[in-house]
């Protein structure tokens, strides 16, 4: 007897990290291509967006969590029900990187799976003069020791935001044909954004 493997058409992504690292800003940049410079405290918000790709509807659920960690039971429930995780820190805040390490431990404990899909994101690279966490110091730990994906981003300057989501969706096992939808989404970026620094090689729309 043969069984047909049904492709996943709905995923749940969770953004975790210390307060003020830009979790909400990254999500809003992806969903609405907007940036709000003023930080506002998030308790927990679920965003839902539907795409139609090659005649198939794909639903992305994005959970934006509190950075204050005052709701451990709520956070544990979010971890249990999610497919992939974005652990966000700010490159100008070393303590936020320590929070990422603690959150990773919690995710692995709750999921009981060391191969849980996790993408570590160093946000706020637009703050060149205030950087206190350097790429080389994080890259080897995340990619070699932890075996997770790593990238740096700027929600403000719209750098690597789509790449971060593309990597999350790839790890969450969405069909690869979903990639062109992100390409089309990127083409809607306003022309004035063209002044931002050139994207690195990881900004390709193609999923390897």
Q: How would you write 35-47 as a 3-class SS string?
A: CCCCCCCCCEEEE
For 160-173, write each residue's pLDDT tens digit: 999 999 999 888 87
Q: Reading across the β-sheet that carries 56-65, which strands appear in turn?
A: 44-53, 56-65, 10-17, 84-90, 118-123, 149-152
- DSSP H stretches of helix in 82-198: 94-111, 135-139, 161-171, 179-186
Tell me the sheet residues that pair with 15.
Answer: 64, 86
Asked whether residue 88 carries a pLDDT value surpassing 90, the answer given is: yes
Residue 65 near residue 26 (C-beta atoms within 8 A): no
Alpha-carbon span 201 to 177, nearest angstrom: 20
Residue 189: DSSP 8-state:
S
Tokens of 14: 């969770």
For 168-194, write each residue's pLDDT tens digit: 988 887 765 665 566 555 444 443 433
For 131-161, write each residue's pLDDT tens digit: 999 999 899 999 999 999 999 999 999 999 9
Helix (H) or strand (E) holding 76, with range, is helix 72-80
- pTM, rounded to two decimals: 0.81
CATH of 10-203 given 3.40.50.20, 3.40.50.300, 3.60.15.10, 3.40.50.720: 3.40.50.300
Alpha-carbon span 206 to 208, nearest angstrom: 6
């Amino acid at each position: 007897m043969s069984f047909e493997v049904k492709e996943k058409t709905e995923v749940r992504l969770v953004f975790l990290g210390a307060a003020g690292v830009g979790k909400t800003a990254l999500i809003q940049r992806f969903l609405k291509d907007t940036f709000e410079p003023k930080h506002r405290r998030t308790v927990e918000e679920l965003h839902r967006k539907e795409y139609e790709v090659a005649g198939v509807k794909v639903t992305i659920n994005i959970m934006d969590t509190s950075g204050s960690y005052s709701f451990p039971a709520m956070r544990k429930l979010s971890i249990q029900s999610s497919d992939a995780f974005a652990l966000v820190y700010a490159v100008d805040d070393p303590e936020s990187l320590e929070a990422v390490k603690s959150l990773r431990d919690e995710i692995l404990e709750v999921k009981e799976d060391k191969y849980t899909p996790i993408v570590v994101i160093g946000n706020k690279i637009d703050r060149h003069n205030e950087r206190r966490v350097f790429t080389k110091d994080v890259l080897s730990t995340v990619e070699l020791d932890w075996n997770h994906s790593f990238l740096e981003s700027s929600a403000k300057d719209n750098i690597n935001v789509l790449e971060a989501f593309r990597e999350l969706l790839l790890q969450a096992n969405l069909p690869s044909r979903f990639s062109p939808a992100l390409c089309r989404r990127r083409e809607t970026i306003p022309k004035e954004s063209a002044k931002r620094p050139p994207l690195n090689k990881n900004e390709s729309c193609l999923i390897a």
